[in-house]
Structure 1
Amino acid sequence: MATNEAEEDDYLSMSFGEPAAQVKENSLQRTARLKKEAAERARPLSKKERGAKEKAARDSALATSMDSSNKGAKMMAKMGFKGGALGKSNDARTQPIEVLVKDDRGGIGLDSEKKRKLRELAEEQEGKEKKRRVGEEEFRMLNAAEREERRTAGMMWSSMRTLEEFEADGVGGSDEGGVPGEQKKVGKVARPLRSINLLYRPLVKQRLEKEKEKRARYDLDQSLSRPAAYSDPDADADDKIALDTEVEEELDEEDAELDEFEALSYAQRLEKIVGELRQKWRYCFWCKYRYASESEMEEDCPGLGEDEHG
């Protein structure tokens, strides 16, 4: 008996928390609280608050599944509905159709029109961005192509000058090595432009055009600075040629062969000139050296093109 009493809880040694003090409101406080609650209930809800309240009620109703206590379910059960999806197909709808409430004054198709315009605007922006990227890439490619074309044009004119120097020196039949320009030039012999080698004829024509333009400017300056009494309209044409005041070659004549050659690209013309230098003069334009024999050129020269020369 004593043991059982020892095992029982000792209520005298237990500590209890102090009971929460209950605040008793007086009549004035109670009247103020009731007025505040009444005013809150009487306050009309704003449009946003009504919309949120209606949406919450609608979502709650749509989230609640139908059961036997639902009036609609009872009516459908009387017509033979036993639950599940409506319709014969297996993928028929099992959830109610979502209700979309318009909260603006726009027409029924306004949202679809807005979506369509936004989609078109996004596609237009994407197209512009793609065109911008493509435009930048094309711009870089065009710049690279223009730089390569200018470089090829410079090499073409250089090869023309090299070929002209070889033919002016007249060392084609010699087996001596070296570079053009080593032999002393005796002088220029006036000859028709069409008789010049087609591969460097554009260079000669360009030089004649520059000389003609320079001479025309010089004659204009002389005519403006010289009195009219000193002009001799009856001067012999041969004397003018002898005094180097008139171009003997007529540059305005048509040259179909030259026009056809100049219609080629810079790379094609350069290839023809380099081939002529190798075949006729055993000179490699890329090595910048004239070989003594064809066998030496075939043995020592890396190849025909620029790529083979590194």
Structure 2
Amino acid sequence: MSDEEDDYMSDAFLTKIQDVKPGVSMVRRVKETIKKEAEHKEKNIKNRQKSFKEQEKESREAALQSSISNENKGFALLQKMGYKAGQGLGKQGAGRVEPIPLNIKVDRGGIGMEEMKKRKAEEELEHYRQKVRAKQQNESKSMEDFRSRVRTEREERKIEGDLRRSQRSCEQLDSQKGISEPREDWYWPKTEAEDEAEPEAEDEVVNKEDEEDEAVELTPFDKLHILTSYLRGRHFYCLWCGTTYNDEDDLSSNCPGDTAADHE
């Protein structure tokens, strides 16, 4: 090995190497780079020439912050007429003190654009409110119709139930008095044979069309009223009391009335 070549295993070579911890130099360099970039950016901001709009804005704000001097011709005329700085406008000094604020228009809309947008927004809001009110009214009407329909169906079922009860009572009371046939077919409940009877032939139906047209179709309510009147007059029996009275005087004296509402 020549003298010019270093011995990598010797102490002299190892002492020349600096003891550098891993990662320390990298972090320091990153921080220095970030600091230099921030200083460079701040320097550019200071040296940057402001645009015309920025200069105009700064000069306008500075002018608005400062009060009018005596050199202003308008202010001088006001002072000659007796106006004093800080005093309200008008003869009595009751007018405005601060100047009218300056509103800079930044968009390209016309003069009445803001009013039109405001009016349009109010119209849309009112239209929305009308739709909400109409929806609420429709929901309320639908609910009321549903309740009315439920009440009607419940009342119809009650009437049909009372009619069946009165038919059974009529058959029983008529049989006790030796009556073998009802005054009307529907005065007594239908038997199973009648329920299962075959429908009439087509020619018989055609022959009876005239009779059916002349006959008045009775509703369950009408039948119930007729049948209960028959039971009260013929048998002195009240369906809702469930009692057979001795005579008409006993019925009139002790029965509340001839309807279901009278017995509630």
Classify the TM-score, shorter chain. 0.5 to 0.7
Q: TM-score, normalised by structure 1?
A: 0.48
Give the 3-state SS of the residue equivalent to 1:125 in structure 2: helix
For residue 73 of structure 1, what is the amino acid of its counterpart?
A: F
The Cα shift of 1:116 comes to 1.4
| Residue of structure 1 in register with 2:149 after alignment | 146
The Cα shift of 1:139 comes to 1.6
The Cα shift of 1:153 comes to 2.2
The Cα shift of 1:145 comes to 0.4
The Cα shift of 1:150 comes to 1.4
Describe the superposition over 1:146-178 as per-residue Cα deviations: whole angstroms up to 9, x where unpaired. 01111222333444555666666775xxxxxxx
Aligned: 1:122 with 2:128? no
Q: Percent identity?
A: 22
| Residue of structure 2 in register with 1:155 after alignment | 158
Instruction: Confirm or deny: 8 A CA contact 2:162 2:224 kept in the other structure.
Output: no
Q: 1:153 to 1:36 in 2, by over 3 A?
A: closer
The Cα shift of 1:141 comes to 1.2
The Cα shift of 1:307 comes to 5.4
| Residue of structure 2 in register with 1:107 after alignment | 110
| Residue of structure 1 in register with 2:30 after alignment | none
Instruction: Confirm or deny: 8 A CA contact 2:69 2:75 kept in the other structure.
Output: yes
Q: CA RMSD in A?
A: 5.3
Distance in 2, matches of 1:46 and 1:282, equals 110
Distance in 2, matches of 1:270 and 1:96, equals 90
Distance in 2, matches of 1:293 and 1:45, equals 115
Which of the numbers 71, 76, 79 marks the counterpart of 2:78?
76
Instruction: Confirm or deny: 8 A CA contact 1:86 1:93 kept in the other structure.
Output: yes
| Residue of structure 2 in register with 1:215 after alignment | 199
| Residue of structure 1 in register with 2:61 after alignment | 57
| Residue of structure 1 in register with 2:46 after alignment | 40
For residue 113 of structure 2, what is the amino acid of its counterpart?
A: L
Aligned: 1:95 with 2:98? yes
Which of the numbers 240, 253, 272 marks the counterpart of 2:213?
253
Distance in 2, matches of 1:46 and 1:68, equals 26
Distance in 1, matches of 2:150 and 2:141, equals 14
Q: Which moved more, 1:271-280 or 1:281-290?
A: 271-280
The Cα shift of 1:117 comes to 1.6
Instruction: Confirm or deny: 8 A CA contact 1:156 1:270 kept in the other structure.
Output: no
Instruction: Confirm or deny: 8 A CA contact 1:169 1:185 kept in the other structure.
Output: no
Distance in 1, matches of 2:41 and 2:104, equals 36
Count of paired positions: 220
Which of the numbers 174, 180, 183 marks the counterpart of 1:186?
180
The Cα shift of 1:273 comes to 5.1
Instruction: Confirm or deny: 8 A CA contact 1:163 1:273 kept in the other structure.
Output: no
Describe the superposition over 1:160-216 as per-residue Cα deviations: whole angstroms up to 9, x where unpaired. 555666666775xxxxxxxxx767863478xxxxxx69xx89x99xxx9x999x625
- Give unmatched runs, 5+ long, in structure 2: 1-34
Instruction: Confirm or deny: 8 A CA contact 1:159 1:273 kept in the other structure.
Output: no
For residue 102 of structure 1, what is the amino acid of its counterpart?
A: K
Distance in 2, matches of 1:103 and 1:188, equals 96
Distance in 2, matches of 1:153 and 1:145, equals 12
| Residue of structure 2 in register with 1:276 after alignment | 229
Instruction: Confirm or deny: 8 A CA contact 1:215 1:246 kept in the other structure.
Output: no
Q: TM-score, normalised by structure 2?
A: 0.55
Q: Which has the higher contact order (CA 8 A, sep 6+)?
A: 1
Instruction: Confirm or deny: 8 A CA contact 1:67 1:73 kept in the other structure.
Output: yes
For residue 76 of structure 2, what is the amino acid of its counterpart?
A: K
Give the 3-state SS of the residue equivalent to 1:97 in structure 2: coil
The Cα shift of 1:140 comes to 1.5
The Cα shift of 1:288 comes to 4.4
